[in-house]
Chains A and B, each alone.
Chain A
Amino acid sequence: MLSEIERRELEDVVKHYPDKRGAAIDALLSIQRRRGWISDDTLLEIAQFLEITAEDLDSVATFYNLVFRKPVGRHVAFMCDSISCWIKGCEQVQAQIKTLYDVDLGQTTSDGRLTVLPIACLGQCERAPALMIDQDVYGDVTPEKIEQIVEKYK
């Protein structure tokens, strides 16, 4: 069941669109902010609110890389691997993350602290390589600096 607060949040975003399903992405992201990810049950609850089928909503949810249909860690590191960051050594940064935290792209650390995902160009190309942890963007990252950055996220 959607909580009262969740429902109110969804009712607010629905107002921006002439029909309810227009709010599909807003709704998925809004609930995900509270629950961490979109489980099958959550998907069904949102679909019922939007008055579409769960299958229909899943075709939207699974399309987007920022909608999580699997559980993620307490924090998510999005590693930009597009061209400007690649030229400037994003692979070395990522290798250092693997060495330090024993986690590959698409995986979560065993203590549930950090999920590491690849991401399309973050638009920080003038300070490549860049990464984003949760909503915080870091530029000019090096393998030497990465531990200090990640340590802020417990």
Chain B
Amino acid sequence: MERPLTQHIHPDGTTRTLREYVKTGGYSSLQRLSSGLAPKDLQRLVTDAGLRGRGGGGFLTGTKWSFVPMGPDAHKPKYIVANGDEMEPGTFKDRVLMEGDPHGLVEGMILAGYAIDAEVGYIFLRGEYHLSAQRLTEAIAEAYAAGYLGKPLPGTGFRFDLHLHASAGRYICGEETALINALEGKRAVPRAKPPFPQTVGLWGKPTVVQNVETLYNVPHIVNQGSDWYHRLSRTQDGGTKIYGISGRVVNPGWWELPLGTTAREVLERYAGGMADGVRFRGLLPGGISTAFMTEEHLDLPLDFSSIPPEVGRLGTATMIVLDDHTCPVGFVLNLEKFFARESCGWCTPCREGLPWVARILMSFEEGRATSEDLSLLKMHAKWLAPGHTFCGLAPGAMAPLQSALKYFHDDFERHISTGGCPWSKKSSQQRVLV
């Protein structure tokens, strides 16, 4: 099984230097640019490869690039931004890449910049990833010294500058237009779309914001082609995916696997199954903005095309497992407290609705809930769904709630009928910040 993104990452957690990176073929993709691969050709190659955004959206990368105005009349400078604001709970895949192989991101950024003729790139990194920041800073300095950055690439006239921007918290910065405001030094609330960043983005210029893992794929596609890239996958979406798992399983961790691997394989074969004494009840397939999957969904191929919309979506593919010793209502309360805390406050439904949802869930845990509260939860799941809020944060928050109400309805009912949490011995979730 090929693992192009992670095969060289050191198991001991140390990073790879420029020398090591080059020895295993690093930066060789840039020679393709020098030998005449035009930006439009690179866009087409990535489209043909079927690379989809690994941040959770799953949008076709080549198509995203194709929206950027090209040619002499396009506004300049254009920008390429790596979204390294990895703050989706349960998600740690970009950290693994940035810590283990920082040059892969630099190379991916140069290629993506070339594809849209952007001369400046920013890596937008969450402030808490200090080790990633340190290693990326070193990698960027090495790449400048070696002439990959800051100098025209031989035979192309294309020169690329790359900066690292360490942020200062707040989940909303991962939303691409909020991220753009954050980079401009403004309060990080989302912007109205349209116009889309590809035409009017950072400082009003054409901008592509791309997830970190997505960018790591680009050099390999350039080196080995779109057919090879499709063969890595088991489904119609190209490539591998970093799958992860956390919760009460024997061996929590991450694995680079063919796209289309099933949750059952990740859970049983790689994570070693459920931990001693607990049983599986459900999982969130990719961060907390995705809907629950249960036993009946475990054999679905986990990719961007095979999960039926009524079941959910892949998200970041780093799954979180719910076991039978954990209260599903308490689980969802934890998620909704997170969303309530991280709402940027810009639009009313999200700012007011999410704390309300969290308070209602708290009333279930504390034994004060009535059947009317169950209806209130369902009402929120409906009115905070897509189309009612300014950005995707609140709709994301409703995905696990709505699916929990479906799959764990009896557990909600039991909280009402028994006047409290049946799992309660330790489930005294704090009242703070709700």
Contacts and interface: CB of A to CB of B under 8 A. Distances in A.
Which of B89, B185, B331, B432 has its CB near the most chain A CB atoms (within 10 A)? Answer: B185
A83 B167 contact: no
B183 A22 contact: yes
Interface string A73-110: 00000100111101110011000000000001110000
Q: How large is the interface on B (under 10, 10 to 19, 20 to 34, 35 or more residues)?
A: 35 or more
Interface in A95-146: 104-106, 118-128, 132, 135, 137
Nearest to B318: A125
A152 interface: no
Given A65-B168, A120-B171, A83 B334 contact: yes
Given A50-B185, A125-B91, A118 B433 contact: yes
B244 to A, nearest CB: 7
Given A64-B169, A65-B169, A87 B127 contact: no
B182 interface: yes
B230 interface: no
A66 interface: yes
A26 B182 CA distance: 11
Contacts of A88: 247-248
Given A21-B184, A87-B248, A91-B426, A120 B89 contact: yes
Given A26-B166, A66-B127, A91-B428, A60 B187 contact: yes
Interface string B122-139: 100011111100000000
Contacts of B169: 64-67, 119-120
Which of A18, A67, A125, A127 has its CB near the most chain B CB atoms (within 10 A)? Answer: A125
A24 interface: yes
A16 interface: yes
B365 interface: no
B130 A126 contact: no
A123 B95 contact: yes
B135 to A, nearest CB: 13
B200 to A, nearest CB: 15
Interface in B179-223: 182-188, 203
Interface in B129-174: 129-131, 163, 165-171
Contact of B188 (A22, A63, A91, A128): A63
B48 interface: no
A23 B167 CA distance: 11
Contact of B320 (A83, A106, A122): A83
A16 B128 contact: no
A96 to B, nearest CB: 13
Given A18-B203, A87-B247, A120-B171, A26 B165 contact: yes
A59 interface: yes
B429 A91 contact: yes
A127 to B, nearest CB: 7
A84 B252 CA distance: 10
A84 B320 contact: yes
Contacts of A25: 165-168, 182, 185
Nearest to B128: A122
A19 interface: yes
B246 interface: yes
Contact of B185 (A24, A81, A86, A119): A24
A84 to B, nearest CB: 4
Contacts of A24: 185-186
B326 interface: yes
Contacts of B334: 81-83, 86
Contact of A121 (B89, B188, B344): B89
Interface in B228-266: 244-248, 252-254
Given A65-B168, A123-B126, A126-B246, 14 more contacts: A21-B185, A29-B166, A60-B185, A64-B127, A66-B168, A86-B334, A91-B426, A119-B128, A121-B91, A121-B338, A123-B87, A125-B92, A126-B253, A132-B128
Interface of B: 86-92, 94-95, 122, 126-131, 163, 165-171, 182-188, 203, 244-248, 252-254, 284, 288, 318, 320, 322-323, 326, 331, 334-335, 338, 341-342, 344, 426, 428-430, 432-433
6 contacts: A23-B185, A83-B284, A121-B87, A121-B89, A123-B94, A124-B92
Interface of A: 16-19, 21-26, 28-29, 50, 59-60, 63-67, 78, 81-84, 86-88, 91-92, 104-106, 118-128, 132, 135, 137
